[in-house]
Amino acid sequence: MSYTYHAPRSIAELMAVMAEKKDGAMVLAGGTDVMVEIRAGHTPQALVDITKIADLNGIRSDGDTIHIGPTTTFTAIVESPIIREAAFVLAQAAASVGSPQIRNRGTVGGNIVNASPAADSVPALVALDAGLRLLSPAGERTLGIEEFLVGVGQTAILPGEVLVDISFPALAPKTGSAFIKLGRRKALAISRISAAAIIGYDDRELMCTDCRIAVGAVAQSPFRVRTAENIWKNCSLTRNNRDACVQAALQEISVTLGQRASAAYKKQAGPAIIRRAVDAALGQVFGGWEQVL
């Protein structure tokens, strides 16, 4: 089956194409997933290449909000001073994606829309409370990333819609963040389980002021373990509170794992991955924090 190729150079041109081809259009950003689908026989009626639209690429800071265009590559995210300063967890997650060749080509928008449970950038974006702006010929809407992801390979995107912006609040001072991934190999591995942690603290009261933990590859979509977060948030920075938070996270994860073959392994590995992410996040801004306990 053949398909038509479109390469709009502006959002207005993109919307015109989507208005005409929306039911059979497949959007191409980096192509690392789309081309695999096409070679597997999932041929669209129209392939819409959005890489030539300058407004859909790049990273910028708008006050306390960070904006990332969907065609921004993982390499650009890793190297961005804005991301490394205000959302280090995302730089770490992007650095763990595939090989240098994949990071040079693959895009954050593609990673989101592909909706893999093991996507590396998504737990970081979930922890960052990212919002996604979707545009179609019919109008515009914004969804939270957890609301957008509805299952394995499934999203809430509608026919004719295109992801045009990813945004999240910059992390506050005295807030650390970290991403930890466990794979079968040290490199080029799909996540068996991953965790993104954001921890804020008050050094005068030794209190945890912010606690956000997102996990990946344990359910149909990455998600926040909010019950666990609330155990440590606004409580003292003690090892006991940290361990109670990790244990509660394990309980939340165990529910999603069910009886799948990997459940026993992930129930053993999960607490260690989450603990490492939490400790690395806090250690980033409060070096040697466990020594004060």
The domain spans of the chain are 4-169, 175-292
pLDDT tens per residue, range 136-170: 999 999 999 999 999 999 999 999 999 999 999 99
**What pLDDT score does 186 carry?**
56
**What pLDDT score does 170 carry?**
98
Judge whether 222 and 216 are in contact, CB under 8 Å: yes
- Signed CA dihedral, 259, 265, 266, 272: sign only: positive
- Signed CA dihedral, 53, 58, 60, 65: sign only: positive
Task: Inform me whether the pLDDT recorded for 92 exceeds 80.
Answer: yes
- Signed CA dihedral, 69, 97, 78, 197: sign only: positive
Q: Which residues lie closer than 8 Å to 131 by C-beta, 6 or more apart?
A: 142, 143, 144, 145, 166, 167, 168
The topology (CATH level 3) of 175-292 is: Enolase-like; domain 1 (3.30.390)
Task: Inform me whether the pLDDT recorded for 292 exceeds 60.
Answer: no
Judge whether 89 and 127 are in contact, CB under 8 Å: yes
**Where residue 39 falls among pLDDT bands split at 50, 70, 90?**
confident
**What pLDDT score does 205 carry?**
86
pLDDT tens per residue, range 41-74: 677 788 999 999 999 999 999 999 999 999 999 9
| Cα 5 from chain centroid (whole Å) | 29
CATH topology match: 4-169 vs 175-292: no
- What is the rounded CA–CA span in Å between residue 74 and residue 108? 6
Average pLDDT over residues 77-92: 97
pLDDT tens per residue, range 209-262: 999 999 999 999 999 999 999 999 999 999 999 999 999 999 999 998 876 768
Average pLDDT over residues 161-182: 96
Model pTM above 0.95: no
**What pLDDT score does 203 carry?**
83
CATH of domain 4-169: 3.30.465.10
Judge whether 132 and 140 are in contact, CB under 8 Å: no
Residue 215: beta bridge partners?
195, 223
- What is the rounded CA–CA span in Å between residue 39 and residue 35? 6
**What pLDDT score does 222 carry?**
95
